[in-house]
Structure 1
Amino acid sequence: MQTIQERASELVRKMTLEEKAAQLSSAWLEINEDGTFSVKETSFSDTRPQQLKESVLGIGIGQITRPYGTQAKNPRSIAKGINEIQRYLVQNTRLGIPAMLHEECLTGAMVVGSTIFPASLNTASTWDIDLMERIGRAIGKELSSLGVHQGLAPVLDVARDARWGRTEETFGEDPYLVGNMGIAYVNGLQGTDCSPIATLKHFLGHSFSEGGRNHAPVHMGERELLNTFALPFEMVVKGANAGSVMPAYHDIDGQPCSSSHHLLSDILRKQWGFKGIVVADYEAPAQLLNDHKVAADLAQAAAMAVQAGMDLELPSGTTFKQGLVQAVNKGYLAIEDLDAAVLRVLHEKFRLGLFENPYIDSEGILLNSKESHSLAVEAATKSLVLLKNDGLLPLHPKGKIAVIGPLANHPKAMYNGYSAPIHLQGSKGSENTIPKNAKTIKSAIEEAAPEATILYEPGCMLYENKIERAVFFPGDVIEDDSKPKAELSTNTSRIEKAVEVALQADTVVLVVGDMVGLFQTGTVGEGSDVSSLTLPGVQQQLLEAILETGKPVVVVLVSGRPYDLQFANEKASSILATWLCGEGGGEAIANVLFAKANPSGKTPLSFPRCAGSLPYAYNHTPKAGGFPRQREYGALFPFGFGLSYTQFSYENCMVDRQEITTQGEVRISATIANTGMVAGDEIVQLYIHDAVASIVRPVKELKGFARISLQPGEKSEVTFVLPSDMLSFVVDGIQRIVEPGTFEIMIGKSCEEIVWRQEIFVTGTVRTLEKDWKFKTPILVKRL
């Protein structure tokens, strides 16, 4: 029997140049149930004629782009149309090669009727690796039932600038936390058989763009790039066998990521041993010609991308399908380089079993089960971060409660940008994109407190006019159009009514924050970058007016980024940060407000004091604040911070030794006790600081964390087994080393609330780490 590699190699030998180029291309189709389709070019075209299969698929195709996530249609209907397209590819093309299908899946399959889990900021706020893996597994099952072979997630960008619209897609600002969450997501999604495959993005440094602007250049040296931004990718490539990687749009020091042989081949494949496929972010190869201006024509752009290490162009494949043929004929690209990419794509198709089973069981599609919805509620509940509480929370479930704010009863208020309610608005189809079990915050409060009198008033609107059409991808955006696609409301006339309602109530729940929309159709999301951290629209005026009433107010911040909460921190009784908590968000918020659940999230992002202190992260270098230190520099609420309805004590903190070698390990232990009156979860955090190093090192670095559940009076011993490898860094752009010297070990409730610290000494000579170095700190938890 032939191996997969032998089957793929044999097929490559039979292919024409044009067929090879087609396998490295994709088709973005709006598919009808009978298999007819139109090709998506721009979401602003009202009429797109149906096209013949022969002209689009006649010589085969590598992938079909987002067949479900392009239209608000019944997925079973779309699946039947996909089967007809696969049947055509198998029966009517010369080589009969089926197409792979890819979909967005950051918070769930971006499909009508799927489960919508909380945003990545939420799952990072849980610090719960097992929970993240269970979510990944649930998403993978839904994708598999849809016949999808590749999911375009997770995002492993390390957040640095809250103005950046895609902050909401990240796991936060710490590379170790991002890497651990990424490993868990990928292990869950891909399962033991690596199907469907995950896609790590955006490789590399995408989150540190000029001014937090989408696609803008990135300026950093090789050491910072590898020690901070590459670390999560390296961890997930090595720790979870991720199937795919997506290069970022930007350039680094003049070199676009999509044409960087250094990133895609030298580092990703050679140094880290990545074996999967590299796929383009949408239209990235064309941007080498049209935006970056480093290619003279499509042929050169396609050649540069493939030579760098890219295998497949998404979404439409025009640059590769046309340009690669020209590139080989003009001598820009060696046929051996083209064949290597085709071989990787075909190897994946054989491994995934496409040739044996190219069709979808449309009746077997299973979306949004009761179990998945319960998981979404659990994740949302565990992710809520209580930033302030002077005793107002939990609320009493009786009396008069005013629910105020433009997001309090908005059906789309708690969803990530890559979810059906946000992404499919205005698309073809008439299916409802809101999950059937979802509740707004207002309706969830009404259910949780049936004996209370609920008074409701929005107070203002974020947008007066409905966004009729979603913007899907960069090709939908006019380059020089600086006018926002949606204008924020400036109408303050409703604020007076909201104040009247607040004055009638015993307590106020004020819900403010973001409405997600891509490319300036919302206040946060891809391409929806900002220059200020003031609440969008007139929400700040609403906030101040309600807080000035003197009523007890809990501010519920529903957002995709941290905002300036200094006034709220001074005046509000309580502040609850919910991020974008998905279809279970309403239930989760109500459960925490009324003590049906204890808040346990810890923020994966610092809340900067103002936009002027950006970029900011807790793990900055010693001189990052300037000299003299900029007064605004720092965090109002630090990384790792979050309150509870109970209290935890830390006792018996110790190390088992104060001296280790550069090949040793140290055990750091602490006893955690719940000293309060209710059950709760605590997140124990381990930080280190390299006292003296050969290059500038951060003031603190997270190197371990453990989430533990404790009943009142209960205790657990947490032990971190810290290997010396975890003290390492990349020193010269290539070598990762462990240096001897003094290290400070810290245990904290947050990066700022350090409860214990101890110096240890690393002895011996400088050690260069091998490829398979230890990048995780094992955790031992013993109930006492």
Structure 2
Amino acid sequence: MEPVRKTSPDGVEYRDLNRNGRMDPFEDPRLSVEERVADLLPRLSLEEKAGLMFHTVIEAGADGTVKEAPGAISKSPTSEVVLRKHLTHFNVHALDDARMAARWHNALQAIAEQAPHGIPVTVSTDPRHAFIENAGASFAAKAFSQWPEALGLAALRDEDLVRRFGDVARQEYVAVGIRMALHPTLDLATEPRWARQSGTFGQDPDLVTRLGVAYLKGFQQDALGPDSVACVSKHFPGGGPQKDGEDAHFPYGREQVYPGGRFADHLKPFPAVIEAGTAAIMPYYGMPVGLEIDGEKIEEVGFGYNRQVVTGLLREKLGYDGVVLTDWELVNDNHVGDQVLPARSWGVEHLDPHGRMELILEAGADQFGGEECVEVLLDLVRDGRVSEARIDESAARLLAVKFRLGLFDDPYVDEDAAAVTVGRKDFRDAGYAAQAASVTVLQNGTEHRAPVLPLGRGGRRVYVENLSAEAAAALGEVVQRPEDADVAVVRLHAPFEPRSDLFLESWFHQGSLDFAPGLVSRLERIARSCPLVLDVVLDRPAVLTPLLPFASAVVGSYGSNDSALVDALTGVVEPVGRLPFDLPRSMEQVRQHGEDVPGYDDPLFAFGHGLGLPSRPD
């Protein structure tokens, strides 16, 4: 789809976004971003500027249409939030078909053209190129090329590959109109019970920094421009060290602690991505407890409300002048069906929505994630609690990103190109290869058991659990009982404690890392019948200690489909992954360990461990 263009008297093609019949400076593609922002900002009403400062969830119609009725996740009809509330930033959830996604995006941009100044929409997304489906954090790839989770990229230790992944994801995003990535996640995986580790690059601050910059460069390219996807680097100043590993989405996980005094480790990736040009930064939900920075005690309120952190540390000390987007729903509770997710107003729960929003602005944020309550912000301005100059400051930053992305000049995408680009064969092949290569061999043989990897392909009887029929067939004849097998291959997920009281809670893997004793006993019985190969999907660490005495081989994976796993186990693709975090010996070791400290003095398997495979047998 092409935008409607006019030609100025001096021969310049432009979009007449305010429909006044002439090329105004903000419509002039020859001018600098700064000049265009300076011209447009004074033209906007207070309502239009306020609308820029909200970034809410939107649902796309599966048939490529916009939704004009509230959905399961989105709060309002599309035309209402665009034309009445003047929102122009949306976080899209399900996208099943590339052509329909592109069609929906173009329909959304066409509605935005009807607004007084035709400000184009910026569509954002959480990660959607791997396996984990979690409405609060990430989506399974579906039509997009499928890669390992970020932990799997970290297991490969390859900056060039990470940048290549970012470039592939950039091309697929741009094809369907997604121009902002709510990632990379730069948090350190120092607390093994924390639910968000799968989206990180592991525990080591140096590795996270290197891979985070490579990831950013893949998405944004060397400079933010018309072919870029703008990155929101998160969660400042480093999420992850949550008290007892509980997640800060939920009231019981609000406290962020530093018993080991390792705040600097968690902060380390952010100066590097600021220097690399990250378009935006997202503070975390967590409420720091007992934290001091340069001898100054930090107020115990969530980071999104914390002026010492957002203005003092991020803007003044680190010199960051880009967009600060809060994490989702700091202002209002979220009611979905018969469940609720309380506003993440940690430390300021006593404030009403007006007070919370005022404090967020005082802290230095520009945009409210997951909110569309523009009337609250307008009240604050009209009551004199927030100045219009303060609104202008944030609106200018937000407009600048849109101009740099080229959205004012052409926000539309080509449906045919989207259908060809998304899930392209070379993209899928590269993702598949990374899935297989990232597999980490933790144990291959024991004192009493001979090594069994690499497995042969075919020519044996194999018992499998949680492996597809197609993948299992590549190993040999599938039998129904371990007693009849030459080898058993079983896939397990890292343990967690299911929870489902609060909205989103059921998607987050939290709690103990211990396998259930009944499962351990059953696996031991299998191992008495034939050699047992275990794959543990490590979306978080697991206590593998009870499995090692009887498993002939144990591998870890971080987002590998069944066929990719089999290719790794058989050596068709060499499994070169190395652990992106320590694996603890026991839950007692976890409980004794400081939440902010990378690694253990005596782990079961240490960061960087990975055996690879001996040469394949003839």
Taking structure 2 as the reference length, the TM-score comes to 0.81
Amino acid at match of 1:308: A
For 1:165, what is the secondary structure of its paired residue?
A: coil
- Give distance in 1, aligned partners of 2:48 and 2:588: 53
Label 1:212 to 1:363 Cα distance change in 2 as closer, same or farther (>3 A): same
- Give distance in 2, aligned partners of 1:521 and 1:112: 28
Label 1:191 to 1:567 Cα distance change in 2 as closer, same or farther (>3 A): same
Label 1:27 to 1:552 Cα distance change in 2 as closer, same or farther (>3 A): closer
CA contact (8 A) 1:311 1:341 kept: yes
Per-residue deviation, residues 721-771 of structure 1 (Å, max 9, x unmatched) = xxxxxxxxxxxxxxxxxxxxxxxxxxxxxxxxxxxxxxxxxxxxxxxxxxx
Label 1:19 to 1:396 Cα distance change in 2 as closer, same or farther (>3 A): closer
- 2:467 aligned with 1:408: yes
For 2:478, what is the secondary structure of its paired residue?
A: strand
| 1:560-571 aligned within 5 A | 560-571=539-550
Offset, 1:312: 1.6
Per-residue deviation, residues 101-130 of structure 1 (Å, max 9, x unmatched) = 111226369564111210111111111111
- Give distance in 1, aligned partners of 2:519 and 2:223: 48
Q: Residue in 1 aligned with 2:273? A: 236
- Give distance in 1, aligned partners of 2:156 and 2:204: 14
Offset, 1:73: 4.2
- 2:337 aligned with 1:307: no
- Give distance in 2, aligned partners of 1:511 and 1:255: 42
CA contact (8 A) 2:147 2:559 kept: no
Label 1:393 to 1:634 Cα distance change in 2 as closer, same or farther (>3 A): same
Q: Residue in 1 aligned with 2:120? A: 98
For 2:479, what is the secondary structure of its paired residue?
A: strand
- 2:346 aligned with 1:346: no
For 1:554, what is the secondary structure of its paired residue?
A: strand
Amino acid at match of 2:271: E
Offset, 1:144: 0.8
Q: Residue in 2 aligned with 1:107? A: 129
Label 1:162 to 1:599 Cα distance change in 2 as closer, same or farther (>3 A): same
CA contact (8 A) 1:126 1:600 kept: yes
| 1:692-711 aligned within 5 A | none
For 1:540, what is the secondary structure of its paired residue?
A: helix
Label 1:363 to 1:22 Cα distance change in 2 as closer, same or farther (>3 A): same
Amino acid at match of 1:534: D
Q: Residue in 2 aligned with 1:265? A: 311
| 1:769-784 aligned within 5 A | none
CA contact (8 A) 2:254 2:346 kept: no
Q: Residue in 1 aligned with 2:378? A: 325
- Give distance in 1, aligned partners of 2:494 and 2:256: 29
Per-residue deviation, residues 668-693 of structure 1 (Å, max 9, x unmatched) = xxxxxxxxx689xxxxxxxxxxxxxx
1:251 aligns with one of 287, 306, 309: 287
- Give distance in 1, aligned partners of 2:567 and 2:557: 12
CA contact (8 A) 1:328 1:334 kept: yes
1:131 aligns with one of 161, 165, 177: 161
For 2:152, what is the secondary structure of its paired residue?
A: helix
Offset, 1:317: 2.3
For 1:208, what is the secondary structure of its paired residue?
A: coil
Amino acid at match of 2:484: Q
Offset, 1:208: 0.9
The structure where strand makes up a greater share of residues is 1
- Give distance in 2, aligned partners of 1:517 and 1:221: 24
CA contact (8 A) 1:107 1:117 kept: yes
- 2:334 aligned with 1:334: no
CA contact (8 A) 1:105 1:139 kept: no
Label 1:20 to 1:618 Cα distance change in 2 as closer, same or farther (>3 A): closer
Amino acid at match of 1:443: E
Offset, 1:504: 0.5
2:553 aligns with one of 574, 582, 593: 574
CA contact (8 A) 1:25 1:313 kept: yes
Offset, 1:389: 0.8
Label 1:541 to 1:332 Cα distance change in 2 as closer, same or farther (>3 A): farther
- 2:587 aligned with 1:599: no
Offset, 1:282: 1.6
- 2:38 aligned with 1:58: no
Q: Residue in 2 aligned with 1:640? A: 608
Per-residue deviation, residues 418-452 of structure 1 (Å, max 9, x unmatched) = xxxxxxxxxxxxxxxxxxxxxxxx42242x34xx2
Per-residue deviation, residues 49-103 of structure 1 (Å, max 9, x unmatched) = x84725652352231221xx23x5433224323322322222x221221111111
- Give distance in 1, aligned partners of 2:568 and 2:78: 55
Amino acid at match of 2:613: Y
Gaps of 5+ in 1: 410-441, 457-500, 626-632, 647-676, 680-784
For 1:556, what is the secondary structure of its paired residue?
A: strand
For 1:570, what is the secondary structure of its paired residue?
A: coil
Offset, 1:455: 2.2
1:25 aligns with one of 30, 36, 54: 54
| 1:711-726 aligned within 5 A | none
Taking structure 1 as the reference length, the TM-score comes to 0.64
Label 1:312 to 1:214 Cα distance change in 2 as closer, same or farther (>3 A): same
Q: Residue in 2 aligned with 1:198? A: 231
Per-residue deviation, residues 196-236 of structure 1 (Å, max 9, x unmatched) = 11121122342111111111234445994541111122222
Q: Residue in 2 aligned with 1:376? A: 431
2:105 aligns with one of 74, 82, 102: 82
Q: Residue in 2 aligned with 1:753? A: none
Label 1:550 to 1:537 Cα distance change in 2 as closer, same or farther (>3 A): closer
- Give distance in 2, aligned partners of 1:219 and 1:64: 29
- 2:563 aligned with 1:587: yes
For 1:323, what is the secondary structure of its paired residue?
A: helix
Label 1:7 to 1:224 Cα distance change in 2 as closer, same or farther (>3 A): farther
| 1:171-190 aligned within 5 A | 171-190=201-220
- Give distance in 2, aligned partners of 1:221 and 1:644: 35
Offset, 1:163: 1.5
Per-residue deviation, residues 693-732 of structure 1 (Å, max 9, x unmatched) = xxxxxxxxxxxxxxxxxxxxxxxxxxxxxxxxxxxxxxxx
CA contact (8 A) 2:311 2:364 kept: yes
- Give distance in 1, aligned partners of 2:587 and 2:495: 20
Offset, 1:143: 0.5
Offset, 1:577: 0.8
- 2:453 aligned with 1:393: yes
Offset, 1:166: 1.4
Offset, 1:525: 9.1
Amino acid at match of 2:59: E
For 2:178, what is the secondary structure of its paired residue?
A: coil
For 1:283, what is the secondary structure of its paired residue?
A: coil
Offset, 1:248: 1.1
CA contact (8 A) 2:119 2:408 kept: yes
Calculate the aligned-residue CA RMSD, in Å: 3.2
| 1:666-705 aligned within 5 A | none
Label 1:237 to 1:678 Cα distance change in 2 as closer, same or farther (>3 A): farther
Offset, 1:3: 2.3
Offset, 1:40: 4.7
Label 1:172 to 1:526 Cα distance change in 2 as closer, same or farther (>3 A): farther
CA contact (8 A) 1:98 1:354 kept: yes
CA contact (8 A) 1:385 1:578 kept: yes
Label 1:73 to 1:531 Cα distance change in 2 as closer, same or farther (>3 A): closer
Higher relative contact order (CA 8 A, sep 6+): 2
1:544 aligns with one of 517, 521, 524: 524
2:39 aligns with one of 10, 13, 28: 10
Label 1:533 to 1:645 Cα distance change in 2 as closer, same or farther (>3 A): same
Q: Residue in 2 aligned with 1:506? A: 486
- Give distance in 2, aligned partners of 1:129 and 1:164: 25
Q: Residue in 2 aligned with 1:532? A: 512
CA contact (8 A) 1:179 1:232 kept: yes
Q: Residue in 2 aligned with 1:213? A: 246
- Give distance in 1, aligned partners of 2:608 and 2:546: 22
For 2:216, what is the secondary structure of its paired residue?
A: helix
- Give distance in 2, aligned partners of 1:377 and 1:353: 33
